[in-house]
Amino acid sequence: MNIIITGASKGIGKAIAEIFAEEGHTLLIGSRTAKSLYDTMSGLQNRYPQSTIKAMPVDMRKKEEVVQFGNWCLGFGTPGILVNNAGIFVPGSIYNEPEDQLEEMIHTNLYSAYHLTRTVLPAMMEARRGHIFNICSIASLNAYPNGGSYSISKFALLGFSKNLREEMKPHGIKVTAVCPGATMSASWDGFNIDPQRIMEATDIAKMIHAATKLSPMAVVEDIILRPQLGDL
């Protein structure tokens, strides 16, 4: 099966790539930083020689690069799974965050998923199969202090997921919104976090993997995960 994963060079995206690579799939991975992406590609290929790992650097903030990446993925065949994981977290408040922060969050966290999905959907619809995962956030569900434009963008991504799910029902394509709470990833770099208070990236990967194992008649619409001791 061909599996597309964005933001795959670290954190949740890398954990998702690892769990599917172990099964011997063809992984088509993208992220903005070429070195870390290619290091991830070679590392996965060495650890899981039964899989085929292909990588293409892509700035998911830029529509033309997203479309190019999607068409590159289609060159390997119709994807069975698409994981829209690319995103960025910048804290702030609406009243005093930098002037262009909303645009940055929307381009990175929403438009990236929108344009990539639209690029690969025609092939998936023709095949009448597939599963799309949008990595949203607990911030998609509830406002919180210092959430600002990040939370706005994640609310929008959840709305995108819900609309897409309704549209894809007649076409045999599943859509799952994944809403993780605090997870050990680059978003928390610089914060002094007790490891007992934050989830592991593999926790999210395991839930996504499990959701792909259901019969064609069932879909996990939403996955909500929080640290056992509650949100940070």
d(CA 73, CA 79): 8
- Burial class from Cβ neighbours inside 10 Å (0-12, 13-18, 19+) for residue 203 reads middle
Residues 6+ apart with CB under 8 A from 147: 91, 139
Distance of CA 185 to the CA centre of its chain: 13
Q: Choose, from 48, 111, 114, 150, the residue flagged as catalytic.
A: 150
150 tagged catalytic: yes
CB-based contacts of 149-152 (< 8 A; 24+ apart in sequence): 149/90, 149/92, 149/94, 149/97, 149/101, 149/102, 149/104, 149/105, 149/106, 150/88, 150/89, 150/90, 150/91, 150/92, 150/105, 150/109, 152/94, 152/102, 152/105, 152/106
Helix (H, G, I), strand (E, B) or coil at 15: helix
d(CA 95, CA 231): 24
Identify which of 119, 148, 153 has the alpha carbon closest to the alpha carbon of residue 136.
153
Active site residues: 150
